Structure 1
Amino acid sequence: MADEKIVKDDSEWRQNLTPEQYAITRCSATERPFTGPWLDEKREGTFVCVCCGSGLFRSDTKYESGSGWPSFFDAIGPGVIATKEDLSHGMRRIEILCAKCDAHLGHVFPDGPKPTGLRYCTNGHALDFKPDAAD
């Protein structure tokens, strides 16, 4: 079934991810601002989960938020992003996760542009990029 959850044990995730990807996606770490990949990516394409390859965001929803992390105002479709309350670091935030494999992606904030007003603030190391095919 296409909507089945991807479940791997810790050793499998460690084998398939770089140490930084593992720390971010499996342990909810955060890369330093302005250091991760994809911040300046301008090509047309799809940003996918680095853990499972599930499509998460399209390039036409990416925008420069000034935060230092790749930011998007909408997900590629309903149900691809899961959310949960995050009370760490003395703050109340909404964590975003890949709905398919539960990879930590970042957080969503209500200060984004129209039409959604949302800012999906993602760790670049949680994403991979698949450019659209050349014409």
Structure 2
Amino acid sequence: MKTVIWKLNLQSDPNKVFNLLTTPEGRTKFWSEKATESEGVIHFTFPNGQTYQSQILKSIPNKEFHLDYFDSLVKFQLTQTETGGTDFTLINENIRASDFSEIHAGWISVLMNLKAVADFQCDLRNHDPTKTWDQGYVDN
């Protein structure tokens, strides 16, 4: 099993970033087409029609958010910077070696869109179900 680790520096404060991660409205701004939540489970729907029921495992406001995500563990860690922004770390553990390259690259797409939404209020995704990651589009 392998682990993906990515870091991102955001101008936005941890509260804003945490709200993007932990609210249905926030998640649909940068991550998925739908992301409703019920009883500690996020019901993700992605542009290609794929769905996943993601169990929330840990939530510490403005600091940490952990999920079961496609049979792996995803940890989001937020630290406020000296300038009031956020140093953001994503750790995705327990990834099968055969899936690692795609997941490693896929998180870049998600995280760069998180930065665009958090810092510039701009969604970079195309929202076209015929132009998704499956067809080689990075702006899915």
Give yes or no for TM over 0.5. no
Higher helix share: 2
Q: Which has the higher strand share?
A: 2
